[in-house]
Amino acid sequence: MEKELFDIDQLISNRFLGTITPDNDQLLDKWIGEKIENQRYFSEQKKLWELFTMHQKMQQIDEHKAFQKISAQLFTRKKRNILAYIQRIAAIMLIPVVIASSIYILSEKTERKQQATVYNTAETPLGMRSSLVLPDGTKVWLNAGSKLRYPVLFSEKYRAVELCGEAYFEVKKDKKWPFVVTSGNMNIVVSGTTFNCNAYDENNQIETVLVEGQVTVINESATISKELLPNELAIFSKNNQQIVKSKINPEKYIAWKSGKLMFRDDKMDLVVEKLERWYNVEFEIKDKEITNYIYTATFIDESLDQVLKMLSLSAPIRYSVSERSKLGDQTFEKQTVKLYKK
Amino acid sequence: MRVNEVKPITDQGLAASIRNSNQGVFELVFKFYYSGLVVYADKIVQNIDVSEDIVQSVFMKLWETRETIEIRSFRSYFIQCVKNRCIDHIRNQHVKSKFDHRISETNQFVTDDDLWTKSDLAGLIEESVESLPPRCREIFKMSRYENLKIAEIAGQLHISTRTVETQISKALKILRLKLVDYLSLLFPLFFS
């Protein structure tokens, strides 16, 4: 392009901005009409300008909301039962003891009639951890070997998820939209708070630790409920349906979320259980006595080898690690660590 | 440990999943194209709410007829459907003169290349804007993203309106150089 007597880029951008003077407007038109190259240059700058207009418009469009809207129409049929359900939930939150029927049973009923509630399942394999954001904006961290089932679209008046394993929740605050975690035969009802729930199938208890806010732990038949305050731990025993509360320091319960493995005066069988999931290995305790050892340590990003070394240094333990042999389908079997008394 | 071969995601593969009622894939495709299609429709109907309705109805139709539909390319499928619905919409408004005008405008100015997805633009544009000199970038963003008028920007930054204009023109010049390859792609044979 030849050098012009006026700043053509300024004229062009002023036209887009709508601040061009009538004189310059004419001048610009004349310039554009002069040559095909000028015309092309102007059109390209116009496209460029439009690209940004489009980008700005797109950023204001909420595709998540739009999807919720159409999936409500496509994937759910009846909504009538939800209202009755909400009233129950509200009642459960206020006077838990009165309610005889369980959220679990209710939700099953609702599902049947609603037909098409669609669920997602997030699953973290052993040896790994993951995090996700639920449709309502709640953040969830999933510990190794854990599973979270949640509807693609939460019902309008409550948010229910199902947990197997351990998860840390940062629930998006919404008092009118209760968040319910169901695990085995226990429910945790919250309105917006941060807490950790440890509910592995193989354990016969469910531990809930509250970090912030308030939660209510309720058993399946809604006959027993306990409200938790921050820094409290509720242990729900699956066998006798009792809930026991105690004051704790939540640090060690939630350390896993930031990649730390923390033990504070913990018995060796618990230590071993956590290591198994964390590193996807199997432990065999060869001497029963070891189970009763009490252990305190914090591991950050340590390999299994290092952890075992430290374990054997700080407790009268020695260990052996099995070779991993190849299985028929070309995968390797789990590593096994055997622990012996020194 | 077994390593699975990573297969490239193709439109045909995604379409097959949708045909098999895979709602997750449907959601993925929806979220990938939605905002781009709305902006595309808005170019034709000049109304963002109507555009959202149109694009949503296209996706609902896709889901309802998923079992019988053949899709080779989502892009051309969506463009076709959205364009048709936009034209229907304008026709239904019974504004004959406007309709004729708009259609000619459509043919002339809204081309298939006008469909951009959020992810296309995110990489391309955000990066190039970030490369602008700080002051220039600040002013450009205020103008293009916060929709502030030249006088408002000048007032907020305590500078003259002329400086604001100069900075925006400077931004365009720099952005042009950054995006020149894409711009020429957008104009293959436009004037020939």
Can you read off the two tokens belonging to residue A340? 């012996």
Answer with the one of A252, A275, A304 that is the final residue of a domain.
Answer: A252
Pick from A61-70, A77-86, A196-205, A248-257: least confident: A77-86
Q: Contact A58/B38, CB-based, under 8 Å?
A: yes
**Structure tokens belonging to residue B173:** 């010049």
| Mean pLDDT on A49-66 | 88
CB contact under 8 A, A43 and B24: no
Using the predicted structure, report yes or no on whether residue B159 has a pLDDT greater than 80: yes
Spatial distance between the Cα atoms of A182 and A175, rounded to a whole number of angstroms: 19
> Do A178 and A122 share a structural domain?
yes
Report yes or no on A38 lying in a domain: yes
Return the pLDDT at B4: 42
Q: What average pLDDT does range A121-139 have in this prediction?
A: 85
Candidate from A40, A120, A332 with C-beta closest to B1: A332
| Residue A332 amino acid letter | F
Output the pLDDT for position A133.
86
Is the CATH code 1.10.10.10 the one for domain B118-186? yes
Dist. CA B187–CA A214, nearest whole Å: 59
Burial (0-12, 13-18, 19+ Cβ within 10 Å), A210: buried
CATH of residue A159's domain is 2.60.120.1440
Q: CB of A17 within 8 A of CB of B150?
A: yes
For the four alpha carbons of A58, A60, A64 and A65, in that order, the dihedral sign comes to negative
The arithmetic mean of pLDDT across residues B14-18, rounded, is: 87
What is the model's pLDDT at position A322?
A: 83
Return the percentage of chain A with pLDDT > 90, whole number. 9
Indicate whether B170 pLDDT > 50: yes
Short-list A1, A153, A122, A279, CA closest to B26:
A153
Tell the burial category of A128 from Cβ atoms under 10 Å away from its Cβ (0-12, 13-18, 19+): middle
The pLDDT tens digits of the residues spanning A25-36 come to 999 999 988 888
pLDDT at A259 exceeding the cut of 50: yes
* pLDDT in the model for residue A4: 54
Nearest-CA distance B172 → chain A (Å) = 8
Give bridge partners of residue A247 from the DSSP assignment: A232
**Given this model, what pLDDT does residue A103 score?**
43
Residues A238 and A129 in one domain: yes
Q: pLDDT digit string (tens) for A66-103?
A: 998 898 888 865 444 555 566 555 555 544 433 333 34
Residues A223, A300: Cα–Cα separation, whole Å? 41
CA-nearest residue of chain B to A7? B169
Best interface-test mutation with A: which of B169, B170, B174 has the largest number of A CBs within 10 A?
B169
Give the pLDDT of residue A89.
Answer: 56
Q: What is the count of structural domains for chain A? A: 3
Looking at A91-105, A326-340, B13-27, B109-123, which range is the least confident one?
A91-105
Place of tokens 């029927």: A101
Name which residue leads in pLDDT, A85 or A139: A139
Range of the domain at A239: 76-252
Higher pLDDT: A99 or A243? It is: A243
Are A51 and A155 in the same domain? no
Q: What is the pLDDT of residue B116?
A: 78
CA distances from A231 to A56, A143, A234 (A): 45, 20, 10
Q: Do A58 and B121 touch (CB under 8 A)?
A: yes
| Residue A5 DSSP class | S
Are A136 and A192 a contacting pair, CB within 8 Å? no
Tokens of A148: 């979270």
Q: In whole angstroms, what is the distance from residue B116 CA to residue B27 CA? A: 18
- Full DSSP string of B92-126: HTT-HHHHHHHHHHHHHH--GGG---HHHHIIIII
Q: Is residue A167 in some structural domain?
A: yes
Residue B43: name the closest of B94, B96, B103 by CA: B103
Assess whether A274 and A319 both reside in one domain.
yes
pLDDT digits (tens, 9 = 90+) for B128-141: 898 899 999 999 99
Class at the top of the CATH hierarchy for domain B11-111? mainly alpha
Query: Looking at the structure, do residues A117 and A217 belong to the same domain, yes or no?
Result: yes
Residue A160 lies in a domain: yes
Please report, to the nearest 10 degrees, the dihedral formed by the alpha carbons of residues A43, A45, A49, A52 taken in order: 110
End-to-end CA distance of chain A: 85
Q: Is residue A65 part of a domain?
A: no
Any domain includes A18: yes
Task: Give the residue with greater pLDDT, B83 vs A86.
Answer: B83
Q: Indicate whether A67 belongs to any domain.
A: no
Distance of alpha carbon B163 from alpha carbon B168, whole angstroms? 9
Does residue A332 belong to any structural domain of this protein?
yes
What is the four-CA torsion angle of B139, B145, B151, B155, rounded to 10 degrees? -60
User: Quick check: A74 contacting B, CB < 8 Å?
Assistant: yes
Tell me if A254 sits within 8 A of A197, measured CB to CB: no
Tell me the pairing of strands A159-170 and A179-183.
parallel
> Does residue A71 lie within any of the structural domains?
no
pLDDT at B43: 86
User: Looking at chain B from residue 35 to 74, which residues have their Cβ under 8 Å from any Cβ of chain A?
Assistant: 35-36, 38-39, 42, 48, 52, 55-56, 59-60, 63-64
Return the pLDDT at A110.
Answer: 46
Instruction: Check if A71 contacts B (Cβ < 8 Å).
Output: yes
Q: Let me know whether A245 and A127 are in one domain.
A: yes
What average pLDDT does this structure show over A169-175? 86
Residues A138, A245, single domain; the answer is yes
Do A41 and A133 sit in the same domain of this protein?
Answer: no
Domain positions in chain B are: 11-111, 118-186
Same domain as A217, residue A91? yes
Length of chain B: 192
- The enclosing domain of A317 has a CATH number of 3.55.50.30
The ipTM of this complex is: 0.81
**Which runs of E-coded beta strand occur in chain A?**
119-124, 130-133, 139-142, 146-151, 159-170, 179-183, 186-190, 194-199, 205-212, 215-219, 225-228, 232-237, 243-247, 260-267, 281-285, 294-300, 317-321, 335-341
